[in-house]
Amino acid sequence: MKNLTKHLVIALTTLSLFSCGDDDDSTPDIINEEEVITTLIATFTDPATSETITLQSQDLDGDTGDAPVVTVSGSFSADTTYEGTVQFLNETESPAEDITEEVEEEDDEHQVFYTFSSDLDGSITYTSFDGDGNPLGTTADLDAGDASMGTLTITLRHEPTKPNDGTLADAGGETDIQVSFPVTIE
């Protein structure tokens, strides 16, 4: 009986030592919440002429309410290569927060995809990359081919598979923002 009591006391003491740890709830779990992106601005410049085409989508009320305002400032010139940048903003804050900075800081967790509809003669060459040499896409060259009309869809993916084959289907991840722009090449 003495042995049983001795073992019971040791077991209860051990249990109480482990269950009385410092349970400090004042340190919150760090959660990297997805940012609010209200505005996408893609700017493409012909380095030879300084001609600039701007594609913009602005949706200040988010998924509810009014549809985004999508604008394209002009037509691309056929057989021309444009240097492009894309910027993501949260304009619900004042001043607007530039989400592009976070995308570039977390480059291994993001990728911008440029998808041309089958009737639009264009292609993209990435000029920005993550730390492992995989495409990031916050800068890219747009090669405008023959005269055509169609859509250019710009998609920001969070946590895509890298490397991937350049398609959204292969990349997986979650879409942070996706906008289709009506584009003309003349």
pLDDT in tens, 99-158: 999 999 999 999 999 999 999 999 999 999 999 999 999 999 999 999 999 999 999 999
Per-residue pLDDT at 8: 40
Q: Is residue 5 part of a domain?
A: no
Q: How far apart are CA 88 and CA 44, in angstroms?
A: 15
Q: Is residue 6 part of a domain?
A: no
Q: Is residue 17 part of a domain?
A: no
Q: Is residue 11 part of a domain?
A: no
Per-residue pLDDT at 63: 72
Per-residue pLDDT at 33: 56
Q: Please tell me the least confidently modeled range out of 10-14, 50-54, 82-86.
A: 10-14
Element at 125 (helix H, strand E): strand 122-126
Per-residue pLDDT at 160: 98
Residue 185 has pLDDT above 50, yes or no: yes
Per-residue pLDDT at 34: 63
Q: Is residue 131 part of a domain?
A: yes
Task: Report, as an integer, the average pLDDT of 161-179.
Answer: 96
Q: Between vectors from CA 69 to CA 91 and to CA 96, what angle results, nearest 5°?
A: 10
Handedness of CA 85, 96, 40, 49 (dihedral sign): negative
pLDDT in tens, 22-77: 444 444 443 345 679 999 999 999 999 999 999 999 999 877 778 999 999 999 99
Q: Is residue 8 part of a domain?
A: no
Residue 7: CB atoms within 10 A of its CB come to: 10
Residue 161 has pLDDT above 90, yes or no: yes
Handedness of CA 58, 61, 62, 67 (dihedral sign): negative
Per-residue pLDDT at 90: 96
Q: Is residue 134 part of a domain?
A: yes
Question: Based on the structure, what is the number of domains in the chain?
Answer: 1
Its domain, for residue 49, covers 37-185
Q: Is residue 20 part of a domain?
A: no
